[in-house]
């Protein structure tokens, strides 16, 4: 079985030695070494992302965001309640495969990590949170929007950002709002979604709720990731002539869909995505401005009025990376963990889980309310509405975070 | 009776492993070695003893895994019972694949190709149909309990795998010592000669593929319970088909201990290459592929063939 | 529901895709026809060719179509060397062994690519990449139209080479009667390698025509392997015309399948055809040998 990873590698030797060191540390603790000597030990945190495979772009972005947080924390003096202990990030590659990711969690357990952050894709997180739960390892989900992740009753799992339920519950009323404000031009829709956990779940919820705002769902089209050819799908859209197209995809497929629609001259009144993989991506807007123009999205976003968010944006762009949601969500996930570590003042897994469960962390830059975990889900998390305007991504709703007004329907 | 003694001795030696091996990592190694050895043994029955090389053994594996999952999730069947039923399902698929392929006289490369096609058809179906979870796959909720075929620690899985391994050995022992087995090997050595001798070639091959299918399906359920998640790629993808044929070819086709030897060798190769080269995706598989080519080129009898020269009758390729 | 109006564009789409599949299958059918090898490494080699075209574009700015004169000989050389010094030697002439050797090669090549180039999908952006040809009843993407013409051209070229050149005649003689060919002084090993090389050279051409519409990634070969085999079996092993016709049929089947049954399930039509042909008519539409 492939157990590979890249970058800061997690080699066998390192695992075996770290296990030995871990054992020694425990032993020395039992004998009662002085607090100071023990506190110098870095806190081991597993950081796992699919940096290769079908969703590797997102995984790579996620890893970058997480590492920036680790670097910031360490530069600011580490975890103070643990005597300035630095965070020791153990990076692994989930290879866009659930079983590989689960194996990496086993390795993390052997290495004695205190917590794990990451996963990115829902189908990966479903496997990794379970594997971590078997060993009682606290797990902070970075993105993974499938709501089953936080409904599995796993005490160790915490998700700071919203699940697709929240996105649908935001997207549908706001669509209604935008639609009504323009005189209700939109009456029919087609949903295009990736066929794994996130896409299927999102599509199902949308199908249930759209009729309630007077939008009829003409068709729901699933496709695998990766998918090379969108011609047939676009043909079907062309024939059905929906008022809006609602994609729920990962980056590559979303781009291909948008471009194929442009190519085949399919122009609905709006493209309104829910968790659109490319819709709120600067890379997409930069690479294909014509295809991206006026696309609307209900997605993760930072609070544009918070300075910390803008600082991170500059830092990210300075590294030559686009400032995507994977970056800032992972950054915040690690920060959340750091806050919990401070309050737990311990590297003990159970204590960290308790600290996360009782978290009220407000030092974030997301457009969220106060942090509060209920069954692993942060109930303060919120979604916002975005639109690509003038080759930039603007927040159009809710008003308290908005920096532009919706342009709806799309100009012809 | 020498091989029977060898099997018993081997099993006795393997039993105390969980108490002797404390490292979680090495225990996992042991479990996976037995697991791959078992998958390889199932392939060995059809390929090594039967001479029919299947490139789509995932068809049976995936059926077992999905049967196990669907029975548990939708029908609330106890996982152990689901294991048995999944084995039956694997046998049925074996009967269908074998029934069609052998009935129409497919051999050699054509047989390999059609097994590949069957596996792919099943993969696409599993990826599209609702009751197999479509693209999302199926996840077994975490409820560790021995009665639930989920163990809190590794030893439980180790012993389950040991029992399955014993089952695999028993099957091969039966082939090496029965008339059915003699017929099967005659078919392998020369189908036309076997036919001339009055052997019902079709029935013999069919029986072999059914047996192989049953065992492979059991392996699929084990995977399901160990990792608690399957999707169409995991269940019916080429990775499993390749893993199943690699171990016996490396260890020794048509020998009883070949698959296990091959599995251990490949796992060790995997670990050594990761420590030496460092972990990078793909490199260990490059090594596997290279080993496969080298073994075919220079060691057609596999590791067991090498050992035969030293250990004589203990590792003899039967008949 | 599916309307009649989109069936025609779907069929046209399928024809262009099918033509490209045919290109991939041409090499495979030649290799089988002459060497009786089921080349499991065909998909992996196509993948290597795709990366070749990609890097020529990404690093040297060479347009994929202009890369043809580079890729075709390069892939030919690769194929020649592989057959002469690896497959031919390791296989010991036995069918099953050769099959396993090509399988092993495919594993090596695929994962080497994974290691060297990671599994990120690599796409290229050409100026004409998203332009379309307006056929009135449908809009066909320009790269696909070019690929269609390219496939027909290559098929014709191959056929001509086999028919009228000395090399082609020698290869055909070898395919029919190995002993006899040896007796008249034909260097069998060299010729086998030449045949294999030509088959792989077709992949070089296919890659140049494919990349503008698809992408390169280490595992992309897998999807093509099974489709190529289906086409070869459907068209008849060893028949070029069969590969072309088979390719078109499969392309249309896949396209219509995707239209009616969805992108995932739609692909099943191809494999069902494969199984049915293997069982009931293994010689295929145009093939001669059983």
pLDDT tens by residue, B251-271: 999 999 999 999 999 888 877
Residue B141 and residue A2: Cβ atoms within 8 Å? Answer: no
Place of tokens 């950054």: A331
pLDDT tens by residue, C97-107: 888 899 899 98
pLDDT band at B310 (very low <50, low <70, confident <90, very high): low
Residue A197 and residue B136: Cβ atoms within 8 Å? Answer: yes
Torsions phi, psi for C66 (to 5 deg)? -75, -15
Residue B14 resides in a domain: no
Instruction: Give the model's pLDDT for residue C2.
Output: 57
CATH of C4-280, one of 1.10.3470, 3.40.720, 1.20.120, 2.60.40: 1.10.3470
What is the pTM assigned to this prediction?
0.84
The predicted model gives A1-12 an average pLDDT of 35
Q: C119 — contact with chain A (CB < 8 Å)?
A: yes
List all residues 6 or more positions away from A253 whose beta carbon is below 8 Å from its beta carbon.
A194, A223, A225, A226, A227, A230, A277
Q: Which residues of B touch A224 (CB under 8 A)?
A: 127, 135
pLDDT tens by residue, B87-96: 999 999 999 9
Interface list for chain A against chain B, based on CB atoms closer than 8 Å: 1-6, 9-13, 15-16, 19, 52, 93, 95, 97-99, 102, 106-107, 109-110, 123, 126-127, 130-131, 133-134, 148, 152, 154, 194-197, 199-201, 222, 224
Instruction: Give the model's pLDDT for residue B313.
Output: 52
Residue A214's alpha-carbon distances to A172, A186, A247, A409, C57, in angstroms, are: 11, 9, 19, 17, 49
Determine the residue of chain C that is closest to A2 in CA distance. Answer: C111
Residue A96 and residue C5: Cβ atoms within 8 Å? Answer: no
Q: Is the pLDDT of residue B44 over 60?
A: yes
CA distance A3 to chain C (A): 13
**B244 vs C115, higher pLDDT:** B244
From C258, B282, C124, C205, select the one nearest A227 (Cα to Cα).
Answer: C258
Residue B44 resides in a domain: yes
> Between A252, A259, A262, which is nearest C121 by CB?
A252
pLDDT band at A270 (very low <50, low <70, confident <90, very high): very high
Q: Is the pLDDT of residue B312 over 60?
A: no
The predicted model gives A73-83 an average pLDDT of 92
- Domain extent, residue B150, equals 2-7+28-315
pLDDT band at B281 (very low <50, low <70, confident <90, very high): low
Instruction: Give the model's pLDDT for residue B314.
Output: 46
Instruction: Give the model's pLDDT for residue B143.
Output: 86
Residue C118 and residue A259: Cβ atoms within 8 Å? Answer: no
Token reading at C164: 């009228």
Residue B123 resides in a domain: yes
Q: What ipTM, to 2 d.p.?
A: 0.85
Q: Are A233 and C263 in contact (CB under 8 A)?
A: yes
pLDDT tens by residue, B109-165: 889 989 999 999 999 999 888 888 887 788 888 888 888 899 888 899 999 999 999
Q: What is the DSSP string of chain B?
A: -HHHHHHHHHHHHHTTHHHH---HHHHHHHHHHHHHHHHHHHHHHHHTTT----S-THHHHHHHHHHHHHHHHHH---HHHHHHHHHHHHHHHHHHHHHHHHHTT--HHHHHHHHHHHHHHHHHHHHH-GGGTGGG-EE-----BGGGTB-SSHHHHHHHHHHHHHHHHHHHHHHHHSHHHHHHHHHHH-HHHHHHTT--HHHHHHHHHHHHHHHHHHHHHHHHHHH-EE-HHHHHSHHHHHHHHHHHHHH-TT-SSHHHHHHHHHHHHHHHHHHHH---TTHHHHHHHHHHHHHHHH-TTHHHHHHHHHHGGGGPPP-
Q: Which residues of B touch A15 (CB under 8 A)?
A: 25
The CATH number linked to B228 is: 1.10.3470
Q: Which residues of B touch C89 (CB under 8 A)?
A: 297
CA atoms within 13 A on the CB side of B191: 13
Q: What is the bridge-based pairing of β-strands B229-230 and C132-134? A: unpaired
CA torsion through residues B225, B227, B228, B230, sign:
negative
Domain boundaries, chain C: 4-280
Question: What average pLDDT does chain A have?
Answer: 85
Instruction: Give the model's pLDDT for residue B267.
Output: 86
> What value does the CA radius of gyration of chain A take, rounded to a whole number of Å?
22
Q: Is A220 helix (H, G, I), strand (E, B) or coil?
A: strand
Instruction: Give the model's pLDDT for residue C95.
Output: 74
pLDDT band at A143 (very low <50, low <70, confident <90, very high): very high
Place of tokens 């940096």: A51
Q: Are B241 and B57 in contact (CB under 8 A)?
A: yes
Q: Is A221 helix (H, G, I), strand (E, B) or coil?
A: strand
Instruction: Give the model's pLDDT for residue A20.
Output: 39
**Straight-line distance from the first to the last Cα atom of chain B, in angstroms, rounded to the nearest whole number:** 14
Q: Is the pLDDT of residue B279 over 70?
A: no
Residue A130 and residue B137: Cβ atoms within 8 Å? Answer: no
Residue B18 resides in a domain: no
C137 DSSP 8-state letter? S
**C175 vs A45, higher pLDDT:** A45
Instruction: Give the model's pLDDT for residue A74.
Output: 94
- Burial class (CB within 10 angstroms; exposed 0-12, middle 13-18, buried 19+) of C232: buried
Residue B174 resides in a domain: yes
C85 DSSP 8-state letter? I
pLDDT per residue, tens digit, chain C (290 aa), is 556 778 888 899 899 889 989 989 999 999 988 888 889 899 999 999 999 999 999 999 999 999 999 999 999 999 999 999 988 888 777 777 888 899 899 989 998 998 888 767 787 877 777 788 888 778 888 888 888 999 899 989 988 988 899 888 888 888 877 777 778 877 888 988 999 999 999 999 999 998 888 888 888 888 788 889 899 989 988 888 899 999 999 999 999 988 888 877 888 888 999 999 989 988 888 876 54
Token reading at B253: 């086709």
pLDDT band at A241 (very low <50, low <70, confident <90, very high): very high
Q: How many domains does chain B have?
A: 1
Query: All domains of chain A, ordered by start, with CATH?
Result: 12-161+305-378 (3.40.50.2300), 165-299+384-397 (3.40.50.2300)
CA distance C172 to chain A (A): 37
Q: Which residues of A touch B231 (CB under 8 A)?
A: 98, 123, 196
pLDDT band at A36 (very low <50, low <70, confident <90, very high): very low
Q: Which residues of A touch C139 (CB under 8 A)?
A: 263-265
Q: B24 — contact with chain A (CB < 8 Å)?
A: yes
């Amino acid at each position: 079985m492939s157990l590979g990873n890249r970058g800061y590698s997690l080699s066998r030797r390192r695992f075996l030695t770290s296990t030995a060191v871990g054992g020694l540390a425990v032993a020395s603790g039992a004998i009662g070494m002085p607090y100071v000597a023990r506190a110098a030990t870095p806190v081991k945190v597993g950081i796992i992302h699919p940096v290769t495979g079908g969703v590797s772009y997102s995984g790579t972005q996620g890893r970058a965001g997480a590492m920036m947080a680790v670097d910031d924390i360490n530069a600011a003096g580490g975890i103070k309640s643990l005597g300035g202990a630095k965070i020791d990030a153990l990076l692994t590659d989930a290879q866009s495969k659930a079983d590989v990711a689960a194996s990496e969690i086993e390795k993390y357990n052997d290495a004695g990590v205190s917590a794990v952050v990451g996963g990115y894709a829902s189908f990966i997180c479903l496997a990794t949170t379970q594997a971590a739960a078997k060993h009682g390892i606290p797990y902070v989900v970075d993105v993974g929007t499938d709501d089953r992740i936080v409904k599995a009753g796993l005490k160790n799992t915490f998700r700071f950002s919203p699940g697709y339920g929240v996105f649908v519950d935001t997207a549908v009323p706001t669509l209604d709002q935008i639609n009504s404000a323009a005189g209700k031009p939109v009456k029919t829709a087609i949903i295009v979604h990736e066929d794994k956990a996130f896409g299927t779940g999102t599509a199902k919820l949308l199908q249930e709720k759209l009729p309630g705002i007077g939008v009829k769902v003409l068709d729901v089209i699933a496709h695998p990731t990766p998918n090379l050819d969108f011609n047939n799908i676009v043909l079907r859209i062309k024939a059905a002539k929906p008022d809006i197209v609602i994609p729920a995809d990962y980056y590559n497929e979303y781009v291909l869909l948008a471009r194929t629609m442009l190519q085949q001259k399919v122009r609905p009144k709006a493209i309104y995505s829910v968790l659109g993989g490319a819709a709120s991506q600067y890379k997409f807007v930069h690479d294909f401005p014509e295809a991206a123009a006026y696309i609307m999205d209900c997605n993760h976003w930072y609070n544009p009025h918070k300075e910390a968010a803008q600082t991170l944006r500059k830092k990210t762009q300075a590294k030559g990376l686009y400032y995507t949601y994977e970056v800032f969500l992972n950054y915040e996930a690690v920060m959340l963990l750091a806050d919990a570590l401070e309050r737990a003042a311990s590297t003990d897994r159970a204590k960290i889980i308790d600290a996360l469960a009782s978290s009220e962390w407000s030092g974030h830059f997301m457009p969220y309310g106060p942090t509060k975990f209920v069954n692993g889900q942060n109930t303060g998390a919120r979604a916002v509405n975005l639109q690509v305007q003038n080759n930039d991504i603007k927040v159009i709703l809710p008003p308290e975070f908005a920096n532009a007004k919706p342009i709806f329907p799309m100009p012809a | 009776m020498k091989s029977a003694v060898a099997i018993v001795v081997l099993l006795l030696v393997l039993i105390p492993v969980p108490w002797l091996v404390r490292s979680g990592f090495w225990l996992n190694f042991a479990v996976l070695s037995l697991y791959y050895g078992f998958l390889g043994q199932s392939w060995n029955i059809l390929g090594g003893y039967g001479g029919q090389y299947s490139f789509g053994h995932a068809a049976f594996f995936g059926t077992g895994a999905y049967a196990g999952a669907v029975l548990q999730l939708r029908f609330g069947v106890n996982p152990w019972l689901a294991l048995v039923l999944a084995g039956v399902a694997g046998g049925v698929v074996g009967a269908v694949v074998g029934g069609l392929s052998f009935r129409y006289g497919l051999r050699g490369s054509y047989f390999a190709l059609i097994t590949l096609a069957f596996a792919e058809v099943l993969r696409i179906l599993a990826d599209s149909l609702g009751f197999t979870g479509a693209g999302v796959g199926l996840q077994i909720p975490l409820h560790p309990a021995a009665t639930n075929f989920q163990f809190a620690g590794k030893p439980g899985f180790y012993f389950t795998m040991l029992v399955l391994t014993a089952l695999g050995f028993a099957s091969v022992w039966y082939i090496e010592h029965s008339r059915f087995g003699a017929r099967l090997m005659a078919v392998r050595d020369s189908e036309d000669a076997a036919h001339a001798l009055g052997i019902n070639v079709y029935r013999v091959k069919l029986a072999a593929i059914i047996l192989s299918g049953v065992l492979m399906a059991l392996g699929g359920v084990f995977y399901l319970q160990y990792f608690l998640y399957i999707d169409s790629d995991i269940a019916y993808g080429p990775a499993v088909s390749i893993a199943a044929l690699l171990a016996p070819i490396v260890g020794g086709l048509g020998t009883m201990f070949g698959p296990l030897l091959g599995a251990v060798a490949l796992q060790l190769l995997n670990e050594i290459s990761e420590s030496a080269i460092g972990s990078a995706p793909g490199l260990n598989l490059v090594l596997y592929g290279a080993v496969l080519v080298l073994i075919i080129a220079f060691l057609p009898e596999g590791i067991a063939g090498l050992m035969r020269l030293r250990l004589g009758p203990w590792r003899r390729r039967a008949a | 529901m599916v309307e009649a109006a989109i069936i025609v564009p779907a069929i046209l789409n399928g024809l262009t895709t099918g033509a490209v599949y045919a290109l991939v299958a041409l090499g495979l059918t030649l290799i089988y026809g002459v060497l009786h090898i089921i080349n499991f490494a065909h998909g992996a080699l196509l993948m290597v060719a795709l990366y070749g075209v990609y890097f020529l574009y990404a690093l040297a700015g060479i347009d994929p179509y202009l890369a043809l004169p580079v890729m075709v000989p390069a892939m030919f050389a690769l194929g020649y060397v592989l057959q002469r010094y690896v497959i031919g030697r390791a296989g010991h002439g036995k069918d099953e062994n050769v099959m396993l050797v090509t399988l092993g090669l495919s594993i090596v090549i695929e994962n080497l690519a994974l290691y060297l180039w990671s599994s990120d999908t690599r796409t290229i952006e050409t100026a004409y990449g998203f332009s379309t040809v307006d056929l009135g009843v449908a809009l066909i993407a320009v790269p696909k139209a070019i690929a269609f013409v390219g496939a027909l051209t290559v098929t014709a070229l191959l056929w001509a080479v086999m028919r009228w050149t000395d090399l082609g005649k020698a290869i055909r003689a070898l395919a029919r009667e190995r002993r006899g060919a040896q007796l008249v002084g034909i260097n069998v090993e060299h010729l086998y390698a030449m045949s294999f090389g030509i088959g792989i050279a077709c992949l070089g051409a296919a890659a140049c025509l494919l990349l503008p519409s698809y992408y390169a990634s280490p595992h992309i070969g897998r999807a093509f392997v099974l489709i190529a085999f289906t086409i070869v079996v459907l068209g008849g092993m060893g028949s070029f015309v069969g590969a072309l016709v088979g390719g078109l049929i499969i392309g249309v089947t896949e396209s219509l399948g995707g239209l009616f049954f969805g992108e995932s399930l739609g692909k099943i039509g191809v494999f069902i055809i494969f199984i049915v042909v293997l069982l009931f008519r293994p010689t295929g539409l145009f093939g001669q040998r059983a």
